Amino acid sequence: MVSYSKVAVVTGSSSGIGLETALLLAENGFKTYATMRNVNKASNVLEKAQRKNLPIEVLELDVNSDESVHQAVEKIVKAEGRIDLLVNNAGYGLIGAVEDLSTDEVKEQYETNVFGVFRTIREVLPTMRKQRGGTIINISSIAGVVGFVGMGAYVSTKFAIEGLTQSLRLELAPFGIRALVIEPGVIRTNILNSSPVAKRAQSENSAYKEMMERFHQAIGAMVKNASEPIVVANQVLRAATEIQPRIRYPAGPDAEMILSARKQKTDEELEEFMTKMIGEQPAREVRK
Ligand SMILES: NC(=O)c1ccc[n+]([C@@H]2O[C@H](COP(=O)([O-])OP(=O)(O)OC[C@H]3O[C@@H](n4cnc5c(N)ncnc54)[C@H](OP(=O)(O)O)[C@@H]3O)[C@@H](O)[C@H]2O)c1
């Protein structure tokens, strides 16, 4: 078995970024709990782990449930006595213009992408505080930095994760615990298949029908140049092992480009840059 000295927990490890991250951490010194809400999807990670003799265990964890998160973390602490790294990765993106989203659809989006993150953090912190150390890595997005048409709910959850992480950093520094975000650009995963289109956004009568058609075309074009999930996993490993980790790590050339534009441009210039990139009309032109 590949040797390890630290213990990591990754949420949403059944596919995409979570799967690659769990494998890479296990190859690099972490006994990794690859958690997922449906353990019937474990074969992917288990086959790869067995082939390389990696220290990986699959555990059921549904980030939408207090009880599920509590039980999973309790089992890990009982077995290992410590948790060095938590990677909050589970998530999906609700698609639809803000006016087309029902309150229930937005609540569900927050249940997973935001409340799920609060749940796991609350459960691991007593252990990390006791051991006076640990790292919490939240998978945000470039959508946690700039707005996008047709993704207002998703974007707002990722902005929430950015604010949560910045606050956590201040609260946890005295305990020697780190928190940071990874901001991927477009990554080739299941996310588009697993992301529901809001009910009203599917209607022929939606006022945003044409805008959403352009949105789908733009996403299709971006996916062609998408980065592979390993690009994000590499950034997670880097952030988890650097002596002085940064607050944010972009993942993928598109993310790097947008973050660098964010540093150089005013908010209005950035909005113009992004809307032109997606093929929408900049809000400044509309206001004229
Ligand atoms: N792909 C991108 O372009 C991109 C860009 C920026 C950020 N991200 C972020 O990266 C993260 C991973 O997404 P991905 O792209 O790897 O997509 P993915 O392949 O669809 O993976 C999402 C994972 O989250 C899990 N999940 C969803 N709801 C859950 C719940 N209630 N409890 C536990 N697990 C749950 C899924 O489980 P099931 O298999 O059971 O559905 C799956 O394992 C997300 O937070 C996403 O917002 C993705």
Is 92 among the residues known to form the active site? no
> Is the Cβ atom of 184 under 6 angstroms away from ligand 1?
yes
At 239 the pLDDT is 98
Contact 80, 7 (CB under 8 A): yes
Burial of residue 30 (number of CB atoms within 10 Å: 0-12, 13-18, 19+) = buried
At 276 the pLDDT is 81
CATH superfamily entry for domain 6-287: NAD(P)-binding Rossmann-like Domain (3.40.50.720)
Domain locations along the chain: 6-287
> Is the Cβ atom of 62 under 6 angstroms away from ligand 1?
yes
Q: What is the mean pLDDT of each run of 10 residues along the chain (288 residues)?
A: 94 98 98 98 97 98 98 98 98 98 98 98 98 98 96 98 98 98 97 94 97 90 93 98 97 96 95 81 61
* Nearest protein Cα to ligand 1, atom 7: 141
Counting Cα atoms < 13 Å in the Cβ hemisphere of 286 gives 8
* Nearest protein Cα to ligand 1, atom 41: 194
Angle at 190 between CA 161 and CA 22, to 5 degrees: 65
At 220 the pLDDT is 87
At 145 the pLDDT is 96
